[in-house]
Structure 1
C-alpha cells in the first residue's frame, strides 16, 4: 500500500530566537500559580470570554479565582457583515440573547466555515485549501487541498472512474475556477474529536448530488467513498460520533464508516424508508424521501435521530391529490435493536442543533429558560441573480409541532458565508 506523505502542519506564532544565555541555576522561575487570587480575578474580568476560558483552565488556583459566568452553548458564529475579508466575527446565543464580538482572528480572513466540532472549525479559503482551526488555542492543522477531491464520472458499460477536481479546473474560466467550487460545491466537513497533526480523520460532503470522501493524518489527498452499487442515490448529511462517521442517504439509509484502519469499513445500520410503507398523512416512504431535507444525529445512549425538514419549494403530486406534508418529521431508531425508522415526538428532553456543524445534542436542563424537545436549525437560500442569500435561524418544538424563528429573512451578500453553530470548550 502506498504510503502517502504528510502535508498537515500546525501554524504557530513564530518569533526570532534570541541568543541562548545560560541561567543562574539558583535563580527561581516565577510561580504564576502563587499570584494573589484577587489580582487573578481582576485580570480575568478584563478578558473577553474566549480568552477567559483559556485563563480559567490554566491551573487549579486560577480556575478557582476566575469569575467564569455560565457559557450559553452552543453559540451562533456569524462572520462580520461589513467586509468580504473580515477577520472578526460575532457569537450569538439565540436562547439567552447573549452576544459578543471576537476579533481579530487573522486565520478567518477570506475563509468560509464549512464545519465545527467543539472549539474546532473547518475553514475553507479561496484557493480551496482547507484546515482545522481551534479558536481558543489558535492551533491550526492543514488538511489536503480540496483540489485533490475525487469527482465521480457516471458509469459507462458497467465501469466508472474517479478523477480529481483539479482535472475539471483546467476547463473552467479562470475567474470562476475556484469561486463556484468554494461557494457552492462543499456542503460540509466533519472530523474526529480532539484532532492533532498526527491523529485526525475528516470526511466531507460535496457536489450537486452530494458524494462523500475522507482523508486522515498521513494522506496527501481526499479518498472517494462511493462505489457503483451506491450510485443510485446521493448523500444528504454526514456526522461524527464516538469514533465513527455516519451518513444519511437520499433514501434515508444510514451507513456507518470505520476509517481508523488502512481501508475503510462500511456497515449498513438503518435500512431505507420502504417505498410501500405509509407513514404520516398516508405518505409513502418514497414521497418522504423526495419532499424532505434530512439531518442525522446520535445520542449518548445509542439512539439515532432523523430530522426531516420539508422542502417548501417542492410540491409532489400523486394523482393530483396530496395533503401538504408536515413542516417537519422526527424519526428515531436504536440500531442495536432495530434497523427501521419509526416516527416519534420524544427526544428524551434533548435539544438538537443542526447545520454545517457536527450535530450538537444537549439536555434541555443545561439550556436555561428552555423547556421540552427542540431542534435548532439554520436555513440558507441563495439568490444568485441578486447576489444575496436569505438566512433563517429558528427552532422546531417537537412535542407541540410548531416552528419559531429567531432571525428570519435576513438578507446578506452572497459572498458572506452562512452562520454555524459553535461550542466554546477546551475539549
Structure 2
C-alpha cells in the first residue's frame, strides 16, 4: 500500500478536520505538521473555538533561569508546558477569559499579553490613575519601596472587559479606587465607588452587558458596560438585595469573596480560611493559612436574594482571576483555587503560594492538583487564564 502524502490533502478537507479539533494543544500540533497544514490553521484560527479550559500561569523561577522560562499548567491533563516569558518576570499578572493576561511590570506599565501568540496591547501606566496617595512622596520613583508599594499594595486586581470583537477595556481595582482605561488612552478614568469608613469593594465581574461590584456591606451595584467607553466619571446603579445573614459572619473572619459569571447566572463564592497552629497548638506562623471550605450562592433576580447551590459548573478562583467553565475533562461541582493571600504571605519565604487545590462542594473534600514548587513569587501568585489564539 502506497504511503499517503498528508501535505497534499485538499485545503477545504484540512479545514474541516481542523475545525473538529477541541484543544489548543491539538490545534498547535496540527499547524506544525507541514507548511500546508500551517497555512490552513492560519486561515481558520479566528473562527475556530477550543473547549474553554483554564490554564494556570505559574510563578516565575528567578534562580538559574537565564532564558526566563515560565511554566503553564493544564489541569485537564496534568501537563506542564515551558514557554519563554521574559516580560512577565517580576510583574503582577491577572488572567482573563479571552486569552489575555493583564500585567503591571516593574516600570508600572500596563499591558495585555497573550501567552500563546505573544501578542501585546498597551494601556496607560498605573501612575496615571487620578487622586493617588503614594506610599511616600519623598521616595524616588526608581526605588524598590516605590515599586513594591504599587505592586504589592496599591494594585489589587485588573479585570479585562471585551467591549467589541477586538476591543478591550481594563478595570483596575486598587486599595481605594476603581478606574478604567481603553486601548489608546493616555490615562485612567475614575469610577465612582463608596468610600465610607470600613466599606471595602470585594470584587468586580462583567456579565450580560453589565459590570457588577459587591461591597463588604453586602450591597451590590452595577453599571452598563457601554459606560466604560467614555472618559467621564461614571456612577453605579444600586441593586437592592434581601438581608444575607451569613455575610456579617463571613467578613469578620479570615476569608475571601468572589463574584463569578456562570452562563446567565451571577454567582458569589465564599472562601473560608483558617490560621494553622504550630505543633504545640499555641501559636501560628504568620505565613501559614489554609482554605478549609467554600460556599456558592446564585443571585435570584426575581426575589432579589442569594440562594445557596451545590450544582454548578467547574469554578476557578484566586486573587488574580475568576471563571466558570463546563467541560467534560473537568469535574463538575468542584472549585479550583489558588493562593490569594498577600498580607499574610508578604514576608513568606517558604509557605507563600501554598494554599491551592480543588474543593468538591458536594463531598466537602479537597485535594491538591499541582505538586510543583514554583508557586511563590514576591508579587504574583499563579493565575488562571483561558488560552486563545
Query: Could you tell me the TM-score, scaled by structure 2's length?
Result: 0.74
SS for the counterpart of 2:212 is strand
Unpaired runs of at least 5, structure 2: 1-5, 19-23, 277-290
Structure with higher Rg: it is 1
Structure with greater contact order relative to length (CA < 8 Å, sep ≥ 6): 2
SS for the counterpart of 2:369 is strand
1:378 counterpart = 2:378: no
Deviation at 1:184?
A: 3.5
**Equivalences for residues 329-340 of structure 1 within 5 A:** 329-335=295-301, 337-340=302-305
| 8 Å Cα contact 1:214-1:225 kept in structure 2 | yes
1:137 counterpart = 2:104: no
Equivalence for 1:367: 328
Q: Distance in 2 between matches of 1:253 and 1:409?
A: 39
Measured on the aligned residues, the alpha-carbon RMSD in Å equals: 3.9
| 8 Å Cα contact 1:352-1:359 kept in structure 2 | yes
One of 100, 107, 114 as aligned partner of 2:87 = 107
| 8 Å Cα contact 1:392-1:407 kept in structure 2 | no
Unpaired runs of at least 5, structure 1: 1-33, 151-162, 278-283, 315-324
Equivalence for 1:402: 365
Q: Map Cα deviations across residues 293-319 of structure 1 (whole Å, 9 max, x no partner).
A: 101112222x211110113149xxxxx
1:187 counterpart = 2:156: yes
1:354 counterpart = 2:317: yes
One of 225, 240, 256 as aligned partner of 2:191 = 225
| 8 Å Cα contact 2:128-2:188 kept in structure 1 | yes
| 8 Å Cα contact 1:144-1:222 kept in structure 2 | yes
Equivalence for 2:272: 310
Structure 1 residues 357, 334: CA separation in 2 closer, same or farther (over 3 Å shift)? farther
Equivalence for 2:284: none
1:178 counterpart = 2:143: no
Equivalence for 1:286: 248
Q: Distance in 2 between matches of 1:137 and 1:105?
A: 11
| 8 Å Cα contact 1:259-1:265 kept in structure 2 | no
One of 254, 258, 263 as aligned partner of 2:220 = 254
Q: Map Cα deviations across residues 152-182 of structure 1 (whole Å, 9 max, x no partner).
A: xxxxxxxxxxx235x6552336331112321
Deviation at 1:139?
A: 2.5
Structure 1 residues 392, 384: CA separation in 2 closer, same or farther (over 3 Å shift)? closer
1:421 counterpart = 2:384: yes
Equivalence for 2:3: none
1:243 counterpart = 2:209: yes
How many residue pairs get matched? 344
| 8 Å Cα contact 2:375-2:381 kept in structure 1 | no
